[in-house]
Homo-oligomer: A and B are copies of this chain.
Amino acid sequence: MKAVRLEAVGSISLREIAKPVPGPDDLLVRIEACGVCGTDRHLFHGEFPCRPPVTPGHEFSGIVEEVGTAVSGFAVGDRVTGDPNIACGRCGQCHAGRVNLCSNLTAIGIHRDGGFADYVVMPRKQAFVLPADLKPTHGAFCEPLGCCLHGVDLAEVRPGSSVVVLGGGVIGLLTVQLARLAGATTIILSTRQASRRALARELGATASVDPTATDVIDAITSPAGLMPGGADVVFECAGVCETVEQSMRLARAGGTVVIVGVTPQGMKAEFEPFDLLFRELKVVGSFLNPYTHRRAAELIAAGVIEIDRLISRQVTLEEAPRVIANPPAPGEVKVLVVPAMG
C-alpha cells in the first residue's frame, strides 16, 4: 500500500510499504480522509518528538476492511473514526483517570503508523462507529473536535456565557461552534485573516476583531467595548505569546481562561499575579481529548457542526508530503488527504 513516510527530521515522502496486518484486538481501516495538522509539520521539523520511520496522520477516519479475531462490535464495511491517543492503563495518571496525561501515551500517527496511507491498523478500543451516510471527509474532524470539546467542558460554558476565542484556525473555528452549541450568547473571535473572521461570524461568532488593526483588550473589555469588563471564558487557540498574554486580560473578574494552543517549548509568557488574584481568575490547560472522542463523533454524526466550510483543500497521498513540509497557504483552514482521490 502507499504511505507517507517520515523517515527522519526533514525527510518525508510517499512510499510503497506492506499493508499492515491487524492483531486479534485490532481493526484494519481503509483511510477515507486524514487531516493535516500543525503537529504533523512540527514532527517534520523535529519540533515534536517521534520515532521515524513512521507514517504520520492522527486525524483520520475510514472503512473497516478487516476485523481482528477477538473483536466484536465492528463489521467489515463500518465507517469508523479513530482516537489516536492510546493510554497505557497502568501508570499513575491512567489509574487516576487522567488518561490524556498518561506517562506512556502512544499516539497513532506519532509513535506508531497513522493515517496518511491507504490503510491504518488500530486497537478496536480506539475506534468509534460513524453513520454509513456521513460524508467521508467529516470523520477526519472527530479528533480536533474532541480536543475542543475537552476545552469547552473544562470551561463550563453555559447558556448565556460570553466567550472570546483567540486564533481562527480550525481549532478556533470549532471552538466557536462548540461555544455556541453550549449556549454562549456572545462570542468574539480574534484572528488576523479577514476571511476567517467572516467565516467565524457565519459559524456563530457574534463579533470578530482584527488584532493587527486594533488593541484587542481595549476593543473588547473597555466600557465602550464589545464585552465591557471581559468574557466569562477565553479560549487561547492561536499558540503565540501575544494571545496567551491577552487571554488573562480578556477574562472578566471570576472568569476562566482555557489554554488550548501549543506555544514553543521553553517560551515564557508574562502575567500579573495581583490581577489573577484580585479578579480570581481560573487558568487551565486543555490537553488532548480525554473521554471526548465518542461525543465528538456523535456531534459530527448529528450534523450540528459545520465541517464543509472548514475544508480548504483535499489532496492526494502524492501531494501530502509537500503539504506537510510547507507552511499552510494563506486562508487555508484544514487540508485533508484523501487517498481515494489519488
Write the residues of chain A forming the contact surface with B, with a CB cutoff of 8 angstroms: 73, 88-90, 92-101, 124-125, 128, 149, 152-153, 158-160, 178, 181-183, 185, 236, 241, 244, 253-254, 259-287, 290-291, 293-295, 298-299, 302, 304
Cβ contact within 8 Å between A267 and B259: no
Asked if B269 contacts A270 (CB within 8 A), the reply is: yes
Task: Given A90-B125, A98-B280, A183-B181, verify A153-B160 contact (CB < 8 Å).
Answer: no
For residue A291, which residue of chain B has the nearest CB? B97
A27 to chain B, nearest CB (A): 11
Contacts of A287 in B (CB 8 A): 277-280
Contact A254 B182 (CB under 8 A): no
Report yes or no: B295 in contact with A276, Cβ–Cβ below 8 A.
no
Q: How far is the CB of A302 from chain B (nearest CB, A)?
A: 5
Would you list 22 pairs from A and B whose C-beta atoms are within 8 A, ordered by A residue?
Answer: A92-B294, A93-B253, A96-B291, A96-B294, A97-B290, A100-B280, A101-B280, A149-B159, A152-B158, A153-B158, A159-B181, A160-B298, A185-B304, A261-B277, A268-B270, A269-B270, A269-B271, A269-B273, A277-B285, A278-B285, A280-B286, A283-B284
The oligomer's copy count stands at 4
Contact B291 A95 (CB under 8 A): yes
Complex: chain B residue closest to A161, CB-CB: B295
Judge whether B263 and A267 touch: CB under 8 Å.
Answer: no
Is the pair A277, B295 in contact by a Cβ cutoff of 8 Å? no
Contacts of A95 in B (CB 8 A): 128, 291, 293-294
Q: Which residue of B lies closest to A236 (CB)?
A: B273
Closest to A185 in B: B302
Q: In the bound complex, do residue B277 and residue A259 qualify as a contact, i.e. CB atoms below 8 Å apart? A: yes
Main DSSP-derived SS at the A contact region: mixed
A251 to chain B, nearest CB (A): 11
Rounded to whole Å, the gap between the CB of A32 and the closest CB of chain B is 22
Contact present for A273 and B259 (CB under 8 Å): yes
Nearest Cβ in chain B — how far from A303, in angstroms?
9
B89, B160, B266, B304: the one contacting A299 at CB < 8 Å is B160
* Cβ-defined contact, B152 with A178, below 8 A: no
> CA separation between A183 and B145, bound complex, in Å?
14
Q: Select from chain B the residue with minimum beta-carbon distance to A284.
A: B282
Residue of B nearest to A302 (CB): B185
B279 touches A274 (CB 8 A): no
Chain B residues with Cβ under 8 A from A94's Cβ?
Answer: 125
With a 10 A CB-CB cut-off, give which of A253, A267, A304 has the most chain B CB atoms.
A253
**B185 near A299 (CB under 8 angstroms)?**
yes
Contact across chains for A254 and B185 when beta carbons are under 8 A apart: no
Residues A267 and B262 in contact, CB atoms below 8 Å apart: no
Instruction: Kindly state the separation between the CA atoms of A183 and B98 in the bound complex, as whole angstroms.
Output: 21
Tell me, in angstroms, the Cα distance from A267 to B276 when the chains sit together. 11
CA distance A95 to B82 in the complex (A): 12
Q: How far is A73 from B92 in the complex, measured between Cα atoms in Å?
A: 12
A241 proximity list for chain B (CB < 8 A): 273
Distance between Cα atoms of A185 and B300 in the complex (Å): 11
Residue of B with least CB distance to A184: B181
Instruction: Judge whether A283 and B283 touch: CB under 8 Å.
Output: yes
Bound: A291/B97 CA distance, A: 6
Tell which of A178, A270, A275, A277 has the most Cβ of chain B within 10 Å.
A277
